[in-house]
Structure 1
Amino acid sequence: MRSNSLIIILLLLLSGCATQPYGSFIQNPSTIYSKVMADEVTAQIVRLYPAANTQFNLRHTVNDPFGHALIENLRVAGFAVQERIDSDNSLFVSKILMGDSLPGIAINHQEDGASQPTGLALSYIIDQSGDLYHVNITIDDTRLSRAFVAQADSVHPAGLWVRKE
């Protein structure tokens, strides 16, 4: 009994390490910094992928200024973007969108574990160490990384893009 409990605890700990959180890990992110970094990321994505023929499917919900700016930039550039709806709020959103006047229309929303439509999976991680910001974008199996430095109330690239496939 005791050895089974230890094995279960060990498996739970290992499964927690296998899942990588995505999104922004910056406390009180600057909207201006987020917009500048999202503009740089969008410019790099435009160089690598054809806009009219590419759809991005977000792997995680977006709840930060960088993510909102990135989605807006990608759509303006001509990319299709499928956002992920938080499964806790999807029923609430569906009820608001459906209302009582539209009983026959189904709202297509994505929940955890649901199959994704065709397109490229997109996720990002943004973190900060002092005045240095690090942006890591993952598109399917390709990773794009770049550092940014905050100087004089603005943020500037601190190096070139790094691409890993």
Structure 2
Amino acid sequence: MRLRFHAIKTDNYFAYKPVLIGAAILLLLGACTMTQPYGSFIQNPLQAFSHYSKVMADDVTDQIGRLYPAASTQFAMQHPASDPFGQALIDNLRMQGYAVQETVKQDNPLLAVVLSKPIDEADEHAQQITQLEARPGLALRYIIDRSDDLYHVSILIEDLKLTRAFVVHSGQIEPAGLWVRRQQEN
């Protein structure tokens, strides 16, 4: 009787398994730390969207006014508000007496570095004093999107999330329900 010994084949799968597990963990951690995109997600807006944006921004401003006192509250936009809704919201908040710090998207990063560099020591000292005196405002973000004739607006102020739906009827937009208020967990 002859015994046969089979050579055990090493499978490369076992050699790469720790690498695959490590990569999966890094991807999951990276997804957890990524910031959620904010702003308007309205694609191919209707011509009436500028009017709809103004109506929705008016309603959002009224709701914010119920929760935060004007003239003593400062907001800091956490993303550029370059769409019609964002511009209407910022304009409304300022007209109501809120201070709003806007986030400006720099088209040329090299120019931003050059412009932000102090010219001499006096300017550098003045810039440091200004930074110390500047009080950061409440973090303000928004998400606006649409599905058919239903618009969804979410306003995030620090850890507070306010959400409301709006519906279009006969060319006019109106609230489709009450405001939903939720505290975000950190």
**5+ long unaligned stretches in structure 2:** 1-14, 128-133
- Give CA deviations for 1:13-66 in whole Å, capped at 9, x if unaligned: 552354311111111331111111011000111111111000001111112110
CA distance in 2, matches of 1:72, 1:44: 15
Q: 2:155 aligns with which of 137, 159, 162?
A: 137
Q: Aligned partners of 2:108, 2:69: CA distance in 1, in Å?
A: 33
Once the two structures are TM-superposed, the CA of residue 12 in structure 1 deviates from its matched residue by: 3.0
- Alignment match, 2:31: 16
1:90-146 CA-partner distances (Å, limit 9, x unpaired): 654686899xxxx6668x8xxxxxxx9422100011111111111000001111110
Equivalent positions of 1:32-71 (< 5 A) are 32-71=51-90
Please state whether the residue corresponding to 2:145 is helix, strand or coil.
Answer: strand
Deviation at 1:84, TM superposition (A): 1.0
Aligned to 1:75: 94
Q: 160, 164, 177: which one pairs with 1:146?
A: 164
Q: Distance in 2 between matches of 1:21 and 1:139?
A: 15
The 3-state SS of whatever aligns with 1:66 is: helix
Structure 1 gap ranges (5+): 109-115
Could you tell me the TM-score, scaled by structure 2's length?
0.71
Q: Percent identity at matched positions? A: 55
Pick the structure with more helix per residue: 2
Name 1:127's counterpart in structure 2.
Answer: 145
Secondary structure in structure 1 of the residue aligned to 2:82: coil
Larger Rg belongs to: 2
Find the aligned partners of 1:7 and 1:124 in 2 and give their Cα distance.
35
TM-score by length of 1: 0.79
SS, match of residue 90 in structure 2 = helix
